[in-house]
Amino acid sequence: MTGMPGSRDTAAPASACARRAVRCGVFRFDPAHPLFADHFPGAPVVPGSCIVLAFADEAARWADGPAGPPRPIREARGFRFRRFVTPGDYAFRMERTDDGLRCSLHALAPAVGEEGCVAAPPAPLVTGVLAW
């Protein structure tokens, strides 16, 4: 994302698991981004809108490939922020369903499985759906 604090970490690009219904990778919310000086001074927190936008941007990148979502995203639905997300690196997981893409954000796991996907990621910090 240009100009936004969330982006894919180029050291760990997103990948599609073998069945191509899941996309995993790492989002980086750059602690040096000026947004965090104001949100909030001394205790920076990533705004929920930046997290949802990171998922939407990743969905658009996925759609550009042959295994991407079959329909355009129409809405963000049911996003729950279970904990504050501070600037840094986080694992993401997007799973294709009949209704859209089920999204979750996790603390980074120490080990990853097939093609970069975590078999049993840590409890999610954020969950929601990007709906068709």
Q: What is the pLDDT of residues 63-103, one digit of tens each?
A: 766 666 667 889 999 999 999 999 999 999 999 998 899 99
Task: Tell me the C-alpha distance between 121 and 6, whole Å.
Answer: 20
What is the rounded average pLDDT for all residues in the chain?
Answer: 83
On whether the pTM is more than 0.75, the answer is: yes
CB crowding 101-127: b at 16 or more within 10 Å, else e: bbbbbbbeeeebeeebbbeebeebbbb
Residue ranges with strand state E in the chain? 6-8, 15-16, 22-29, 75-81, 88-96, 100-106, 126-131
Which amino acid is located at 120 in the chain?
A
**CB neighbour class for 43 (10 Å; exposed up to 12, middle 13-18, buried from 19):** exposed
Question: pLDDT-based confidence at 121, cuts 50/70/90?
Answer: confident
